[in-house]
Copies of this chain bind each other. A is one copy, B any other.
Amino acid sequence: TLGVSSPAPIPASTELRSHTCGQLRASHVGEQVRLHGWAHAVRDRGGVLFVLLRDRYGVVQVTIGDQSPKEAVETGKNIRLEYVVGVEGTVTRRDAAVVNLEMKTGEIEIVATDVKIVSRTKPMPFMIAEQGKGKKADTKKGNQKNSTKTEIAATGGASDDTRLKYRYLDLRKPTLQENLLLRHRATMATRNFLDASGFIEVETPILTKATPEGARDYLVPSRVHPGSWYALPQSPQIYKQLLMVSGFDRYFQITRCFRDEDLRQDRQPEFTQIDLEMSFVERESVLEVAEGIVKCMFAKVLGKQIGEIPRIPYKEAMDRFGVDAPDMRFGMELKDITDAPIIKDSDFSPIKKALDDKGMVKAMVITGAAKASSRKVLDGYTAFVKSYGLSGLLYAKVGNDNTLNGPLSKVTGDKTGFEDFVASALNARLGDVILVACGTPAAVNAGLGRLRVKLGQENGLTATGPEYAFCWVVDFPLFEFDEGAGRYVSVHHPFTSPLPSQMNLLEDESRIGDIMSDAYDLVCNGSEIGGGSIRIHNPEVQQNIFKVLGISEAEQTEKFGFLLDALSFGAPPHGGLALGLERCIMIMAKADSIRDVVAFPKTTSASDLMAGAPAPVSSEQLEELSVESTAQEEKGE
Within 589-607 of A, Cβ neighbours of B (below 8 Å) are at 598-600, 602, 605-607
CA distance A7 to B599 in the complex (A): 29
Check if A281 is an interface residue, CB within 8 A of chain B.
yes
CB distance from A39 to the nearest CB of B (A): 8
Q: Mark A260-282, 1 if CB is under 8 A from B, else 0.
A: 10100000011010000011111
- Stretch of A44-52, A283-291, A367-375, A503-511 on the interface side: A283-291
* Chain B residues with CB below 8 A from A611, complex form: 205, 208-209, 238, 562
Tell me the A342-396 residues at the B interface (CB within 8 Å): none
Q: Which of B169, B193, B567 contacts A569 (CB 8 A)?
A: B169
Does the CB pair B628–A281 fall under 8 Å? no
Inter-subunit contact A206/B82 (CB<8 Å): no
Shortest C-beta distance, A296 to chain B (Å), equals 5
> Would you give the 0/1 interface string for A516-540, flagging 1 where the beta carbon is closer than 8 Å to chain B?
0000000000000000000001100
Contact indicator A243/B599 (Cβ below 8 Å): yes
- Looking at A10-18, A104-112, A447-455, the stretch in contact with chain B turns out to be A10-18
Interface residues of A in 73-89 (CB under 8 A from B): 82-84
Min distance, Cβ A520 to any Cβ of chain B, angstroms: 15
A305 within 8 A of B: yes
Which of chain A's residues 119-178 have a Cβ closer than 8 Å to chain B? 119-122, 124, 166-169, 171-172, 177
A226 / chain B contacts, CB cutoff of 8 Å: 629-631, 634
Q: For the complex, what is the distance from the CA of A1 to the CA of B206, rounded to whole Å?
A: 38
The one of B167, B220, B262, B607 that contacts A225, using a Cβ cutoff of 8 Å: B607
* Most chain B CB atoms below 10 A, which of A219, A288, A565, A571: A219
- Chain B residue, CB-CB nearest to A271: B203
Are A16 and B270 closer than 8 Å at their CB atoms? no
Q: How far is the CA of A614 from the CA of B617 in the complex (A)?
A: 22
A336 in the interface, Cβ–Cβ < 8 Å?
no
- Interface presence of A246 (CB below 8 A): yes
Within the complex, what minimum Cβ distance (angstroms) separates A592 from chain B? 20
Most B CB within 10 A of own CB, among A196, A206, A258, A598: A206
Cβ 8 A contact of A247, one of B54, B208, B243, B270: B54
Residue A481 CB within 8 A of the other chain: no
Q: Give A611-637 interface residues, CB cut-off 8 Å to B.
A: 611-617, 621, 623-632, 634-635
**Which of chain B's residues have a CB closer than 8 A to the CB of A83?**
570
Which residue of B184, B205, B210 contacts A202 across the interface (Cβ within 8 Å)? Answer: B184
CB within 8 A of A203: which of B1, B3, B181, B272? B272
Q: Are A612 and B239 in contact (CB under 8 A)?
A: no
Decide if A99 is an interface residue (CB 8 Å cutoff): no
Specify which chain B residues have a CB less than 8 angstroms from the CB of A207 in the assembled complex.
Answer: 218, 258, 269-270, 602, 606, 608, 613-614
CA distance A379 to B409 in the complex (A): 107
Interface with B: A24-32, A228-236, A415-423, A463-471, which one?
A228-236
Across the interface, which residues of B come within 8 angstroms of A121, CB to CB? 568-570
Chain B residues with Cβ under 8 A from A285's Cβ? 10, 14-15
| Interchain residue pairs with CB less than 8 A apart (5) | A9-B198, A167-B242, A168-B569, A184-B200, A230-B614
Given contacts A54-B247, A207-B608, 15 further A-B contacts (CB under 8 A): A6-B296, A7-B296, A38-B247, A84-B572, A119-B570, A169-B246, A180-B200, A206-B232, A209-B615, A219-B617, A219-B625, A224-B605, A226-B630, A231-B617, A628-B630
